Amino acid sequence: KAGVTQTPRYLIKTRGQQVTLSCSPISGHRSVSWYQQTPGQGLQFLFEYFSETQRNKGNFPGRFSGRQFSNSRSEMNVSTLELGDSALYLCASSLVGEFHNEQFFGPGTRLTVL
Amino acid sequence: SQQGEEDPQALSIQEGENATMNCSYKTSINNLQWYRQNSGRGLVHLILIRSNEREKHSGRLRVTLDTSKKSSSLLITASRAADTASYFCATAAGGTSYGKLTFGQGTILTVHP
């Protein structure tokens, strides 16, 4: 099976712009979670989608949003970018997203905000 | 904010030695998982231990969990240069915490050939 894929791998934006990141889960996985990784805050949970519904959300401002399509692919969007949004954004998929499952991570999208 | 702390923050050893990393967490959990990350890439799942388990093995990995102390340890035996990476513990709370893992700060392991 192909692993989790994320596009693009690298992105450079300027403050105030918006960005959309994409994640394709492992075939058959219906849950997609997103995380932000920064040197200062570490790995932080953004949100989780299952069957096109957001079931769980972390403590991030409303500028961070996401969605999931019927084929389980997911996108996350960050509007009005700030310098502090520079980070590695990771998505992870699992079969059904229950808490007892392991998650499989993609390689990440490295976002730099100038 | 992070669920807990990992100790040590950095560990440097020689090939063939054992490496032990510790993780503490704050709230009750359903399970605890360990992940490895190479050079800012994606995370690779290593092992999952449930809250009713005390010890688990997988190849050269041994994980222990003490829910009374809210702590876990990861032991890598006979380490190799290829084990050089950052190691993270992550907790899953259960209940309605769908798809959410709460990560520790990580331990940077360097194994010298």
For the segment A8-45, what is each residue's pLDDT rounded down to a tens digit? 999 999 999 999 999 999 999 999 999 999 999 999 99
Mean pLDDT calculated for residue range B26-40? 91
State residue B74's pLDDT score.
Answer: 98
Per-residue pLDDT reduced to its tens digit, A53-89: 999 999 999 999 999 999 999 999 999 999 999 999 9
* Coil/strand/helix, residue B83: helix
Helix, strand, coil percentages for chain B (3-state, nearest 5): 5, 55, 45
Domain locations in chain B as residue ranges: 5-112
DSSP state of B20: E
Residues of chain B found within 8 Å of residue A56, distances taken between Cβ atoms = 96-100
Q: Is the pLDDT of residue B30 over 50?
A: yes
Nearest to B98 among A42, A43, A97 (CB): A97
DSSP state of A69: -
Strand partners, A42: A38
State residue B1's pLDDT score.
Answer: 41
Per-residue pLDDT reduced to its tens digit, B65-81: 999 999 999 999 999 99
B2 to chain A, any CB pair closer than 8 A? The answer is yes
Structural tokens at position A94:
């699992």
Mean pLDDT calculated for residue range B15-40? 93
Distance from CA of A36 to the nearest CA of B (A): 11
**Distance separating alpha carbons of residues B63 and B49, to the nearest angstrom:** 8
Average pLDDT across chain B, whole number: 92
> Under an 8 A CB cutoff, do B45 and A94 touch?
no
Q: To the nearest whole percent, how much of chain A has pLDDT over 90?
A: 90
Is residue B33 within 8 A of residue B56, CB to CB? The reply is: no
Residue B9's pLDDT band, with cuts at 50, 70 and 90, is: very high
Q: Is the pLDDT of residue A102 over 80?
A: yes
Distance from CA of B26 to the nearest CA of A (A): 16
| Residue B102 half-sphere exposure toward CB, CA atoms < 13 A | 23
Domain spanning B5-112, CATH architecture: Sandwich (2.60)
Residue appearing with tokens 């509007």:
A79
Which residues touch A92 (CB under 8 Å, ≥6 apart)?
A4, A32, A33, A34, A35, A103, A104, A105, A106, B43, B99, B101
